[in-house]
Amino acid sequence: MTQIRTKIKGLGFFVPKNIVTNDDLSKVMDTNDEWIRARTGIEERRYITRFEDTPATMGAEAARIAMDRAGVKPEDIDFVVFATLSPDYYFPGGGVLVQRELGLGHCGCLDVRNQCSGFLYGLSVADQYIRTGTYKNILLIGSEVHSAGIDFSTRGRDVTVIFGDGAGAAILQPTTEEGKGVLTTHLHADGRYAEKLAFKNPGSHSGVFTGDKEVFPTVEESPYASLMITPKMVEEGDHYPNMDGQFVFKHAVRRFPEVIGEALEATGLAVSDIDLLVPHQANLRIAQFVQKTLQLPDEKVYNNIQKYGNTTAASIPIALCEAWEKGLVKDGDLICLAAFGSGFTWASALIRW
């Protein structure tokens, strides 16, 4: 029986036109270019044009490029998987907004909320649909707008300097070509550390997990007051993302090699078989640590965080697409994708191009 696998037929990415350098950020917070580069490797990032760009519109722009390269029309798309942590609306999800932007008819749309691992979780889900014959043209998107919801003050600099905006997209199709396509995907999570990297408010947790119930009104004060967002949260800056950077780093540099090794073991391959590793662009220091652990040469690891910052769910498709455009992804190459992020979640995929 012929085995069906998933191939990436087309790639595209879109980043906003606004380049924000480290020096630009030093004008609004106590930081500098040397401090940011030393800790993250980031030199600049892209921010949206406000009132024009959104996660859905950027995702649609990336999708148009991927669709054109794949030679598919809007009516050919039969499913959409949209990964983001920064949706246009709390609900509905961004998938239906992209569907509307692109005129995709009534195809199904699925939103994935797995932050930095979102694109790989989406790839794994889409891979199952392709392998089972359920769908034949899946549009997979990772798109993020961070600049609209981060703290541009010294208080928030540890988080703010890291993130950028952008979107990447892939068209996934079935292939029966021997040994080609997505060979394996691996997904993991550890919810014990959910609050170590989180955007907690607005939310519906009312302090149950965080222990900070003092920022919420008591039932006696107002039995029906909003618990999603309160004046005290805004006053204390508790409505911005928070991160325990050192804690995240320690877990990331362990989980990346583990999940890459798991994928290699599942396919009977070795690190030396990898032609290109495209890691989630979390922090250049993390990527360099993983590269050293795996003993991969520079030409086998692709990083572009220096230009775009951390675009969470969009970082892998942006980097993969850019690498492909540069001719670094060739027919027959073994491509390894890996991610770690909020949740904690982590994932890997091996693709024979």
User: In the structure, what pLDDT confidence band is assigned to residue 290 with cuts at 50, 70 and 90?
Assistant: very high
Q: How many CB atoms lie within 10 A of CB 296?
A: 18
The full set of domains in the chain, from first to last, is 5-175 (3.40.47.10), 181-194+243-352 (3.40.47.10)
Distance CA 297, CA 169 (A): 27
pLDDT band at 282 (very low <50, low <70, confident <90, very high): very high
**Weakest mean pLDDT among 54-63, 155-164, 225-234:** 225-234
Band (pLDDT 50/70/90 cuts) for residue 333 is: very high
Residue 209, pLDDT score: 85
Give the pLDDT band of residue 1 (cuts 50, 70, 90). low
Catalytic residue set: 116, 280, 310
**Whether pLDDT at 285 is above 70:** yes
pLDDT tens-digit map of 213-267: 776 776 667 778 788 888 888 888 888 999 999 999 999 999 999 999 999 999 9
Please report the pLDDT score of residue 229 as a whole number.
Answer: 84
At 219 the pLDDT is 67
pTM over 0.85: yes
Please, are residues 335 and 275 in contact by the beta-carbon 8 Å criterion?
Answer: yes
Whether residue 6 is predicted with pLDDT greater than 80 in this model: the reply is yes
Q: pLDDT at position 236, please?
A: 85
